[in-house]
Amino acid sequence: MTDSKVSHRFPVGSHVIGAFIMPCGNCFYCSKGHDDLCEDFFAYNRAKGTLYDGETRLFLRNSGKPIFMYSMGGLAEYCVVPANALTNLPDTLPYTESAILGCAVFTAYGAMAHAAEVRPGDSVAVIGVGGVGSR
């Protein structure tokens, strides 16, 4: 995605949410709809702590040492993520209510829709829900 497309899709001040996994959108698995198995995410972000170009955009203020990260740095004040890892949120949705979307909702949805292949109208029993299932 070009800089102008990113700026158009996500104007400064946009309310956005990032997924726990940041798919590249181009590898074999992403092209088949299996972005949870994204080759670049595992090769660069998980293995090296970098973005998909093998670089980091984060540096310590005083020393200039690079900061390597895993995933999007969701507990940080600022983070750098690929644009295709973001989704716009309505401005009316409070951050406190949308914070759970990036991890717990996607985790629960993925488990039900893909692993368990639950479909609308199916009957299911949820046992031992934990933090993800109780939301």
65-82 pLDDT, tens per residue? 988 877 766 666 777 777
Place of tokens 């973001």: 86
Q: What is the pTM of this model?
A: 0.63
- Domain range list for the chain: 3-91, 103-135
Cα separation, 2 vs 8, in Å, equals 10
Tens of pLDDT, residues 24-83: 888 999 899 888 888 988 888 888 888 888 888 888 899 999 888 777 666 667 777 778
Cα separation, 20 vs 72, in Å, equals 7
